[in-house]
Amino acid sequence: MGIGTSIFLLAVGAILTFAVNASVGGVDLDVVGWILMAAGVLGLVMVLLMRGRRRTVTTAEPVAYQRVEERRDVAPPL
């Protein structure tokens, strides 16, 4: 789950919890909203933790240069 998906889940959950006053038979929209917001927060925390643990390794040593010679006595392939 990415940052965008987490923020989307948070927004949809907040809308269902705080802005919608409709009732659907057998489904409590407030509970669904809270569950979506919890999933969004959990996903956001996990994404940020994984991003913090990602390390890039760079080497300070220069790349070894190789000499390349072109042979002109060989005919190119047909």
- Alpha helices, DSSP H, located in 1-78: 3-14, 29-53
User: What is the chain's mean pLDDT, rounded?
Assistant: 84
* Tokens of residue 4, six digits: 């965008």
pTM over 0.75: no
Q: What sign does the dihedral 68-74-77-78 (CA atoms) show?
A: positive
Q: Which residue has the tokens 């009732």?
A: 23
The pLDDT value recorded for residue 33 is 94
Per-domain boundaries in the chain: 3-53
Q: Rounded mean pLDDT of 6-10?
A: 94
User: Which residue has better confidence, 12 or 65?
Assistant: 12
Contacts of 2 (CB under 8 A, 6+ apart): 47
Give the residue-averaged pLDDT of 58-73.
Answer: 72
* For residue 7, pLDDT beyond 90: yes
Tokens found for residue 54: 């990602």
3-class SS of residue 28: coil
